[in-house]
A and B are shown apart, each in its own frame.
Chain A
Amino acid sequence: MLKFIISLSLLLTSFLFAENKSFELRGVSVMMKDKGGKAYEVTVKRKIPDECKKVLIDNDTLWTGNFAHKSVPEACKSTYVHTKGRLLPMQLDLDLETYGELEVLYTLKEMKTDPNIVLVDARTKQWFKYRTIPGSINMPFRYFKNKDEYEFEFEYAMKYLGAVKDKDDNYNFDNVKTMVIFCNGPWCSQSPDMIFALMKVGYPSEKLKWYRGGMQDWLSAGMTSTRK
């Protein structure tokens, strides 16, 4: 009898959880500023339009010709350039964690209460402005990779990240922010370049996280971006 009650209650709770949408479908709200500096809220989540729910998952719909079948509504698919950049490993360094979409979403959630975590778009400003992940800030990789050319920008970024210079001009990284860094996709070497440059100056690798999938994987999962 007891067994029955337990299993029944387990069954009921599992139904309750099934009702509960998964994390990426519920999403995380992020505050953004428009051009005039006015704050507005964006919910970052996986968007699945109703018409897409009816799309059958079979070989023809997924993998014909240029992959997605022509009968799949435009709203349910997207097209990527797949011939640029180069392959990158899953891990850049032993101590360096690689993030996926869920971990990035958690980061956005944590960022709301923890000012010591930042999501960083490593591409140049025009890319960041065109389309990015809501809630991210822009730190172009060149500021770090070519720090001698961008002396001012590099110093400003280090200050923002909490690296303090001592009297011998050495950086102290004790209280630096945790950064989650991304660029265009798993073929894009800008975020790895930035991470390697940061590690070279002594930034602790446990405070660096890499979102390897970048814009391509973010958008191919149907996640919210700043451009409609």
Chain B
Amino acid sequence: MYKLMITMVFVFSCIQAEDVKTDTLLKREIDPKCKLIPITNDMFWEAGYASSEVPDVCKATFITSAGQNISPMILHKKIETYGEMEVISFIDKMKDDDSMLFIDTRDEEWYGYNTIPGATNIHYAYIMMQETFPDEYKASLKRLGIKGTKKSYDFSQVKTILLFCNGSWCSQSPKMIKALLALGYPPEKMKWYRGGMDDWLGLSMTTTRTK
């Protein structure tokens, strides 16, 4: 188990995003300055948490009060919740497997601002509010591999999808999952990265925006 965990961390993956032609090395980015910080209470958990002595490149600031609710760890007993290592491994496998899709469920503006390399964008509202977004809804179903018409959808060739949004307080990916379940999307073909952008950046992982 340990071995697996250690090797997984070193699976840095070169991914090719749909519309970005450059390779991105996906990894944990640790500035040399950060290696010198001792792991002590003062450094980690002072007043606003990280000490002012910690260089800016070694820390990140997050909003603690966002979102209506915090999501549970498990949304559905057949839907696996993923962590960062599972996300990396998903992105890695996706390179050679067309039946996998990594989805940022936030809207286009958010997706364009900063996202996880390799992610494609399907806004949760396109699935949840099909009457408001009929064209986007149709196009999204097609991208997910859902065949057939409204009367009877065919889920036999759907993609294995991994969804995320801003963090454990963000309800967009859970809403999209619920909407897909309601349509009949097989739960075992859905994975959820609950930690989202917050946890991804909280571990200093690569994103599309370069600071």
B-binding residues in A (CB < 8 A): 22, 24, 46-49, 52-53, 55, 57, 59, 61-63, 65-68, 72, 74-84, 86-90, 92-93, 98-103, 126-127, 130-131, 184-187, 196, 212-213, 215-217, 219-222, 227
Instruction: Count A/B pairs, Cβ under 8 Å.
Output: 185
Residue from the list A22, A46, A83, A227 in contact with B45, Cβ < 8 A: A227
Listed from nearest, the 10 A-B pairs whose CB atoms lie closest are: A90-B83, A100-B73, A52-B65, A83-B34, A222-B64, A130-B41, A79-B61, A59-B113, A82-B204, A68-B61
Known contacts A59-B110, A82-B58, A219 near B49 by CB under 8 Å: yes
How many angstroms from the CA of A74 to the CA of B63 in the assembled complex?
9
By a CB distance below 8 angstroms, the chain A residues around B31 are: 83
Whether the pair A102, B72 counts as a contact (CB closer than 8 A) is yes
Q: Quick one: which of B154-207 are within 8 Å of A by CB? A: 166-169, 194-195, 197-199, 201-204
Q: In chain B, what residue has the closest Cβ to A94?
A: B1
Q: How many B residues have CB within 8 A of the partner chain?
A: 66
**Nearest chain B CB to A158 CB, angstrom units:** 23
Known contacts A80-B60, A89-B5, A90-B82, A63 near B202 by CB under 8 Å: no
**Nearest chain A CB to B102 CB, angstrom units:** 16
By a CB distance below 8 angstroms, the chain A residues around B66 are: 55, 57, 62
Whether the pair B169, A63 counts as a contact (CB closer than 8 A) is no
By a CB distance below 8 angstroms, the chain B residues around A219 are: 49, 64
Q: Mark B51-77, 1 if CB is under 8 A from A, else 0.
A: 000101111111111101111110000
Most buried by A among B62, B86, B113, B203: B62
**Nearest chain A CB to B82 CB, angstrom units:** 6
Whether the pair B63, A186 counts as a contact (CB closer than 8 A) is no
Whether the pair A67, B73 counts as a contact (CB closer than 8 A) is no
Whether the pair B199, A186 counts as a contact (CB closer than 8 A) is yes
Q: In chain B, what residue has the closest Cβ to A187?
A: B203
